Structure 1
Amino acid sequence: MQKVNKIIAIFLLAIIVSMPSFGMQTSSNDMNEKDKNEYNYAYSIGVQAMVYGWAPVMMDVARELQTSVDHPMSNGQAPINELGPITRLWDYRDRSYTTPNNDTYYIQGWADLDDQPMVLFVPKIENRYWIEQILDMYTESVVDLCNATVGEEGGYFILAKEGYDGPLPENLPVYYSRTKYIWLAGRIGVKNNKDQKIARQIQKEFRLMPLDQYPNGPSQPTPQNSSEAPKVNFPQGLEWFKRLEVVIAENPLAEDQAIVDTFKEIGIGANSIDSISEIKALALQQAYIDGFNIILDAARNSSQPVNGWNWEYNAGVYGTDYLARSSINMNSIGLNSPERAMYPKRYVDNKGVQLNGNNSYQITLPADIPVREQDGGFWSITMYDAKDRFMVENKIDRYKIGSTTEKLIKNDDGSLTIYISHKQPKDKKMKANWLPAPNEDFMLQFRLYEPEKEVYEGSYKLPQLYKID
């Protein structure tokens, strides 16, 4: 999922979406005036519902997908109110979520706060990047637990639904969600191959328990092996609107009641969508197609380009900017807040031409990229195909280059020149610093974990990327 990535930087998390096709549609021009008015009104509300509801529907699909097991799996799936570890770095094999990272282990889960609060235990984590990003069903950030916000000592953290007034343990921090369901999107930095064993042990020590089991709730069970990430079945057309009705009913927001009430005209919250008129059904099918394209256009163009890199500075807190919420989550479900991670991406070279692996490119990065190393911060640049935004198989199994990549050859001033092409370079330095590309269009995503203030406030600029001979 990218605009990204805060995506699941924390699972990171993004869902594959494809342009739907419903075949021949009846034109409103073929209708009498009364029917045409009914069509147009339903269509306009349907488009509004699309823009409003894209992110929560994505979240609900992800929740169903990730919790559709009866035991934690090594691909991150786990029953509700349990944690699911992903026990390897993701690579080209993983095609459930767009732009997954190759930098961290994931430790994620979904919780239902209706019956009682949940308590998350975080172990002591020193000298390492980690985050447990907590999101409500509308992708608003509940809290980002990490070294920068709660320190490296770890501890117990209470997650409750707004309005809960039962007893709580003293001296424990409490964070409230607007919705019954929350997503715990956790990541643990992995520095190199030798470091994976240590990171995996830290991953095992996280615990999630109902409040009535605090503090002795069970440890994570050993996950069952699963060779692939689960595949997404995303609803389209009328099925999408049905799914929106379910999400809104389960996770109502008082502050959104006015706009949600307007959706009753198309069967959401009043009558089953199955019972709406044929004219309204046709209108909603077209509204889905056009709403998708409206969100997609915003996803492609709403970021701020600087030197060919597209930055997103407004993730995590959306208020009533529903189009921003939808477009950001179309690119990357659950994008982190800028203070925790930034994910600038690019599709074009210095002349604005689409990147393609049949060409060669280079970028020279400065010696000091502004990330807070004291909070575990680091950076990387990852290769994805341009169409679906998945990592690309290559013969050296290198999917990214970053501050933890070993055996890179730096320039005399400490800067680093990265070479990008499909064909492996012959020059020793270029070969050492080579980021393999597919022999087709591709995109690059930079990740700055725990960026300095100059990054997330917009004054920092990444260097330009140049096509070379």
Structure 2
Amino acid sequence: MSGQNPTPPAEPAASAADAYVYGYPLVSGLSAVDAALHKGFGTLGPAPFNHFSHAGRLASPDDHFVSVNNDTVYSVAQLDLSGGPLLLDVPDTDGAYCVLQFVDAWTNNFAYLGSRATGTAKSRWLIAPPGWPGSEPDDVTGVIDAPTSVVTLVGRNACGGPDDMPRVAAIQQDLVLTPQDGAEHRTGLPAVDPDVPDELRFFERLRVWMADFPPSAADQAYQDRFQPLGLLEEGPSPYVNAEPALVRALREGLAAGKERIENASKAAAPDQYSQAQARPGEWGMNPHLFDYNLDHLGIGTIDSTQWRIDDREASYLTRAVAARTALWGSHGYEAVSASTSTDAEGRPLTGATSYTVRFEQPPPVGSFWSMTMYDTPDQQLVDNPIGCYSIGDRTPGLVYADDGSLTICIGRERPSHPVEAANWLPAPEGGFRPMIRLYTPNDAVTDGSYRLPTIRPRAAQPG
């Protein structure tokens, strides 16, 4: 009966660990939604449902976020479709890189608009809730079918620096969400029982939010196994006065699930040097970290076996790792990031040494690429005398060699040679970890045949 304390299963702790891994993206993602509604984050202030929060500048060292993007300016909106569809007006960016990424409550990327997916011309879209019975209006470019009634919309507009912000701000001003007339929308997420003990709060959130934002039919069949844990209970929370055996099982399962995600996250970290890598200083990337969406692939996605995880249960752990390490990141065909923390000799990168990295040819991308500098272990942007935190093919004044190659100089001190100074990416005093981002990468990147050049100490330069 609903509301009664459930009976623990035969192996309750193991089942609770599975539930933690399965439900972590939902709880983590919706917790971030709640924070965006009420607190904001980084350069983005709080905004209610169905309103954009626009960043007014590129990220800087004042923004204390891990590996924060310094290439694009964000526009983020939390959408509530419980009262009906929304209209989205998208302005013309005149060919400049942009993407609008749609993420459901389970952190599945289910649609993209923008340069790669639909072009940069002005357009209007209807965003429809699950099971919407209406018909497509005549004045829209198309319909985006949402798998859940709450959606995160992440917009990124390429920005060349402070002088380029007025252009980006004009685009942001014309990016408009309009609820249909008379539609009523919620002002917050479904509330959880405040009397649930803190140690069981994760499972209470999962129980409540899982009911309000049901997954695909295949995932629902999988989550039926969590009935004995009380996760499918309706009405009053089963965790307010839960039996000690269930509390113990959930506590142990939560710890085991956390450990499983952390271990998998470390294994998936792109800059972990190991003997399995082909060479020291290899740039690691994981273009398939977001391939866990198996059920709702809409406008702008690529629905092919290349971008799907074959094993559904394995996809749950990948999804949890993505939520843990790169929440609201995009599919590899939209953008790929690569990082390293060692040089070509396998030694940790440090500001005490000067380095170069030589690109014989530009990285194969359809849009643009950049290299951004972060410190370790915090992976934050670090202030420097010239206010330069990234360098790439859009950086003004770069000097290429006669053969078309590009050599970037990395170090704490500004190089004395004018060409080297023009191509200088400042490093912090201690350890650092640069990240290369490739926007709209070519197949050579995503299939692994393209190899980024390693970073070399200046004394070890060939020739």
Q: Which runs of 5+ in 2 are unaligned?
A: 1-6, 184-196, 271-276, 295-311
Match runs of 1:388-427 below 5 Å:
388-427=378-417
Alignment-derived partner of residue 18 in structure 2: 48
SS of structure 2 residue aligned to 1:59: helix
Equivalent residues of 2:98, 2:120 under 8 A apart: no
Q: Structure 2 counterpart of 1:116, which letter?
A: G
Equivalent residues of 2:290, 2:322 under 8 A apart: no
**Does structure 1 residue 129 correspond to structure 2 residue 97?**
yes
**Does structure 1 residue 251 correspond to structure 2 residue 213?**
yes
Cα drift, residue 259 of structure 1? 2.7
Query: Structure 1 residues 467 and 314 mapped into 2: Cα distance closer, same or farther (>3 Å)?
Result: same
Alignment-derived partner of residue 300 in structure 1: 266
Cα drift, residue 331 of structure 1? 1.6
Aligned mate of 1:61, from 26, 31, 34? 31
* RMSD across aligned positions (CA): 2.8
**Does structure 1 residue 277 correspond to structure 2 residue 243?**
yes
Aligned mate of 2:328, from 304, 318, 334? 334
Q: Structure 2 counterpart of 1:300, which letter?
A: K
Query: Structure 1 residues 103 and 236 mapped into 2: Cα distance closer, same or farther (>3 Å)?
Result: farther
Alignment-derived partner of residue 265 in structure 1: 228
Q: Which moved more, 1:332-341 or 1:316-325?
A: 316-325
Deviation string 1:246-283 (CA, Å, 9 cap, x unpaired) is 32122111321233222333332324333323343344
Aligned mate of 1:365, from 354, 359, 366? 359
Cα drift, residue 435 of structure 1? 2.0
Q: Which runs of 5+ in 1 are unaligned?
A: 1-36, 215-234
Query: Structure 1 residues 209 and 431 mapped into 2: Cα distance closer, same or farther (>3 Å)?
Result: same
C-alpha distance in 1 between matches for 2:135 and 2:81: 15
SS of structure 2 residue aligned to 1:67: helix
Deviation string 1:160-182 (CA, Å, 9 cap, x unpaired) is 12211024313631111211111
TM-score for the superposition, normalised by structure 2? 0.80
C-alpha distance in 1 between matches for 2:426 and 2:363: 22
Q: Structure 2 counterpart of 1:194, which letter?
A: D
Aligned mate of 1:156, from 114, 124, 138? 124
SS of structure 1 residue aligned to 2:38: coil
SS of structure 2 residue aligned to 1:49: helix
**Does structure 1 residue 312 correspond to structure 2 residue 274?**
no
Cα drift, residue 411 of structure 1? 2.6
Alignment-derived partner of residue 5 in structure 1: none
Query: Structure 1 residues 442 and 72 mapped into 2: Cα distance closer, same or farther (>3 Å)?
Result: closer
Equivalent residues of 1:92, 1:392 under 8 A apart: yes
Query: Structure 1 residues 424 and 157 mapped into 2: Cα distance closer, same or farther (>3 Å)?
Result: same
C-alpha distance in 1 between matches for 2:245 and 2:348: 41
SS of structure 2 residue aligned to 1:317: coil
**Does structure 1 residue 350 correspond to structure 2 residue 324?**
no
Alignment size in residue pairs: 407
Identical-pair percentage: 30
Match runs of 1:172-191 below 5 Å:
172=140, 173-191=142-160
Query: Structure 1 residues 306 and 403 mapped into 2: Cα distance closer, same or farther (>3 Å)?
Result: farther
C-alpha distance in 2 between matches for 1:326 and 1:358: 37
Equivalent residues of 2:95, 2:115 under 8 A apart: no
Equivalent residues of 2:37, 2:47 under 8 A apart: yes
SS of structure 1 residue aligned to 2:240: helix
C-alpha distance in 1 between matches for 2:10 and 2:66: 34
Query: Structure 1 residues 127 and 383 mapped into 2: Cα distance closer, same or farther (>3 Å)?
Result: same
Equivalent residues of 1:72, 1:83 under 8 A apart: no
SS of structure 1 residue aligned to 2:351: coil
SS of structure 2 residue aligned to 1:407: coil
C-alpha distance in 2 between matches for 1:292 and 1:407: 47
Query: Structure 1 residues 295 and 349 mapped into 2: Cα distance closer, same or farther (>3 Å)?
Result: farther
Alignment-derived partner of residue 434 in structure 2: 444
SS of structure 2 residue aligned to 1:417: strand
SS of structure 1 residue aligned to 2:404: coil
Equivalent residues of 1:108, 1:186 under 8 A apart: yes
Equivalent residues of 1:72, 1:84 under 8 A apart: no
C-alpha distance in 1 between matches for 2:259 and 2:95: 44
Deviation string 1:383-402 (CA, Å, 9 cap, x unpaired) is 12332322222232211111
Alignment-derived partner of residue 144 in structure 1: 112
Aligned mate of 1:239, from 180, 191, 201? 201
Aligned mate of 1:456, from 434, 446, 463? 446
Alignment-derived partner of residue 207 in structure 1: 176
Equivalent residues of 2:8, 2:228 under 8 A apart: no
Q: Structure 2 counterpart of 1:148, which letter?
A: R
C-alpha distance in 2 between matches for 1:341 and 1:379: 9
Equivalent residues of 2:98, 2:114 under 8 A apart: yes
Query: Structure 1 residues 74 and 309 mapped into 2: Cα distance closer, same or farther (>3 Å)?
Result: closer
Q: Which moved more, 1:100-109 or 1:302-311?
A: 302-311
Q: Which has the higher contact order (CA 8 A, sep 6+)?
A: 1
C-alpha distance in 1 between matches for 2:291 and 2:416: 47
C-alpha distance in 2 between matches for 1:359 and 1:242: 51
Equivalent residues of 2:357, 2:407 under 8 A apart: yes
Equivalent residues of 2:35, 2:41 under 8 A apart: no
Cα drift, residue 310 of structure 1? 1.5
Q: Structure 1 counterpart of 2:316, which letter?
A: Y
SS of structure 1 residue aligned to 2:330: coil
SS of structure 1 residue aligned to 2:433: strand
